[in-house]
Structure 1
Amino acid sequence: MLVSIQALRAFAAWLVVFHHFMQVFFDFKADTLVGHLLSTRGQVGVDIFFVISGFVIYLASAGKPIASKRFILDRLIRIVPAYWIFTLLTASIIYFDARVMPVYAVDPITLLKSLLFIPAQNPGGFGFYPVLPVGWTLNFEMMFYILFALALCAGRRHRAWVTALLVLALSGWLAQQSFVSSFYTNPVIYEFLLGIGLAVIYRRGWLPALSGRMLLAPALIAASATATILWFDDQHPYRWLTWGVPGAALVAAMISMERLFNGSQVLRNLGDWSYSVYLVHIIVLWCGAYLLDQHLAPYLILTLCVPVITLGSWLSFTYIEMGLSRRLKHRFGLSRPAPANTEAIPPLLPNNADEDSGSSRAR
């Protein structure tokens, strides 16, 4: 994967970490400019992840034969083990001591639906969130994977268009029917299509890696995209437009500046760990608040939580995402490389709250 994309994945993941720090310790009631921006804009990491996800998934399969079944199995094996482990860990914490995560709740039905990526109202009363609340984005990811797998049946030339039609049909019509959750009416799902559009442009050579004075153009685009994101908060009804389009512009600018990042193993590693950062961080923050909030200042607790999140993410990536997934692929006969090399595609996920689904405390 492009190192610039890895760097942006890492940035988006840690932006979400600091956003949730503002939730856990301040309930998003910030008294500083930085705290206010993290509370109201930090969740843009989700939008960036969705754009990157569409970009990488399409780019990895474009022009290559790949079976829908193989694609879905690869995605499930890559995503499910870590998500299930941290979902069950969260459920155990809530069950044995609800004081650790006081705004969360769990019951058997919600837990089962969470493990199956089925959107459902959280028993805590804050909207469509699974037991591990950050997993709401995984429900979108898994639906996108299903729709993309269906589009793979349409042939190589039509994958992008068929995926777009399926996403539009889901959000604009199917999600309004009683047999499909209204969760998918959220237009944030269109951000996957922005990523696919970027991948099409990239394949045509319209996003070349620039250098020297030519870097000024993508730098200005990145600055303009950032300014647009900062201008609008999370309550805007057209979030896919106010954050999704600038997020796509930011991804495009980073790709054009690839030569600034190429060769950085640190950025590669941070990008690799971003999915685990996403899953681990909310558990660490709540545990840190429960154990230390009466003894240390919030920002000092954050200083202690950051290395714990980093270590936990590395362990999760090494032994669950890679180690366990490798054994599962061998078990299901997927050890040989897939035609589109989908094993190399990391889950491109993040977290924030679905602003249409309930209380901001769930974010």
Structure 2
Amino acid sequence: MRRERNFGLDLVRAIAITLVVLSHATFFFVQDSENLIVVLIRTMGAVGVDLFFVLSGFLIGGILLKEIEQKRTKFSNLLTFWKRRWWRTLPNYFLILLINIGILYVFSKDLPDTIGSYFVFLQNFSDPQSEFFTESWSLSIEEYAYLILPFLLFCGFFVFKDRENSVFLWATLAVILMGFLLKIQFYMNTDSLSQKNWSSMFRKVVIYRLDAIYIGFLLVYLMRHWPDFFQRFKLGFLLLGGSVFAATHLLIYIANIQPETHLYFFVFMYLPLISMSCGLLFPYAIGMKRSGTFNGLIYFVSTRSYAIYLVNFSAILLCFYYFVDLNSASLMMKIGLCTIYLLLTLSISNLVYTYFEKPILNYRDRKLR
């Protein structure tokens, strides 16, 4: 199974989840902070999620293009695609959702009034979600991305027979355009936002973020149709992506660009620039060879990344707050607790992957080839 995986994409996945977990680890030391190092680490954690989005779009778009190549463009094929996605994403999600509900019950905390919406991924569809199970916001975006564009694609395949590749491109561009129009509506009806409010009201809301995944669709389409071009200039794309990423954040720092003063930048420019700079890494990453030294570690982290993402914050980190007053804890105690947090995250996610996620995926692969 390990030989079937792409090492470069596994590395991307491992980097993304590492950025997320390290950003969460800073909460053992400070809550809200303007310290440059803390802000940088937490910014990179947010970038890790965007990297996941582009990677998901790249992989799912590749699966759909393979369906097109093999002439599997009937609605029965769409249903099989959805079933495979749901077997991949839903069991882990519902398991950790129930665990989070149980944690609140044990510590006599009230469930949010919107708890029912979490079972149908509506907790952040068009409005900010509650503070409960906060990391679930990205799962809602991914689930609707898997529903909306693939459905439109297969409708297009039915209408425009023998033009499936054109349908894939134009439907993707059309949905991205629809998202842009929704962003215009958001911008026109919003006066000013703090960084935190921008994140909850815009960055983590489904209808404004689907384009992050669909950029991955466009990328895999372009790389499939012009493979020689992307292979030839893969290092150039890597350097360009890194330059765009660095220049964007350097501009924000030097010019002190904030949502309160430059809302248009954070609505229309910042997130697409981050997604595109992440995407430019893929032509280089996809051709990377395995590393004998770190291959096992990268494989371990990559395969357990979904479980790590779901368990690390709400199910593990926040539990420390019920037992320890971190504000009054010594530095050595905070370091010790952070170390325990990292070990628990790896151990519990490994248990979830080994005894829950992997058996379900094996069952899926037997039933839905």
**TM-score normalised over the length of structure 2:** 0.74
Q: Which residue of 2 aligns with 1:220?
A: 239
- Whole-angstrom CA distance in 2 between matches of 1:114 and 1:130: 12
* Runs of 4+ deviating beyond 6 Å: 174-177
CA drift at 1:69: 1.0
Q: Which residue of 2 aligns with 1:203?
A: 224
Higher RCO, Cα 8 Å, sep 6+ = 1
Residues 226 and 250, structure 1, Cα contact 8 Å, conserved in 2 = no
Give the gaps of 5 or more residues in structure 1: 100-104, 338-363
Residue 7 of structure 1 pairs with residue 11 of structure 2: yes
Q: Which residue of 2 aligns with 1:145?
A: 146
Residues 222 and 249, structure 1, Cα contact 8 Å, conserved in 2 = yes
Q: Which residue of 2 aligns with 1:359?
A: none
Q: Which residue of 2 aligns with 1:303?
A: 339
Shift in CA distance, 228/315, structure 1 to aligned 2, threshold 3 Å: farther
- Whole-angstrom CA distance in 1 between matches of 2:234 and 2:122: 44
Residue 38 of structure 1 pairs with residue 41 of structure 2: yes
Greater helix content:
2
- Root-mean-square deviation (CA), in Å? 3.4
CA drift at 1:43: 0.7
Shift in CA distance, 251/215, structure 1 to aligned 2, threshold 3 Å: closer
Q: Which has the larger radius of gyration?
A: 2
**CA deviation vs aligned residue, 1:86-129 (integer Å, no higher than 9, x gap):** 11111221233167xxxxx623x5222101111359xxxx9324
Residue 240 of structure 1 pairs with residue 271 of structure 2: yes
Amino acid at match of 1:259: K
- Whole-angstrom CA distance in 1 between matches of 2:179 and 2:235: 40
Give the gaps of 5 or more residues in structure 2: 158-163, 187-200, 260-265
CA drift at 1:130: 7.1
Residues 129 and 136, structure 1, Cα contact 8 Å, conserved in 2 = no
Shift in CA distance, 19/207, structure 1 to aligned 2, threshold 3 Å: farther
- Whole-angstrom CA distance in 2 between matches of 1:98 and 1:252: 50
Amino acid at match of 2:220: A
Deviates more, 1:188-197 or 1:70-79: 188-197
Q: Which residue of 2 aligns with 1:88?
A: 98
How many aligned residue pairs are there?
Answer: 315
- Whole-angstrom CA distance in 2 between matches of 1:78 and 1:139: 14
- Whole-angstrom CA distance in 2 between matches of 1:78 and 1:71: 11
Q: Percent identity?
A: 21
Shift in CA distance, 207/12, structure 1 to aligned 2, threshold 3 Å: farther
Q: Which residue of 1 aligns with 2:82?
A: 72
Deviates more, 1:273-282 or 1:283-292: 283-292
CA drift at 1:206: 3.9
- Whole-angstrom CA distance in 2 between matches of 1:215 and 1:260: 17
Q: Which residue of 1 aligns with 2:174?
A: 165
Shift in CA distance, 287/149, structure 1 to aligned 2, threshold 3 Å: same
Q: Which residue of 2 aligns with 1:259?
A: 289
- Whole-angstrom CA distance in 1 between matches of 2:230 and 2:106: 53
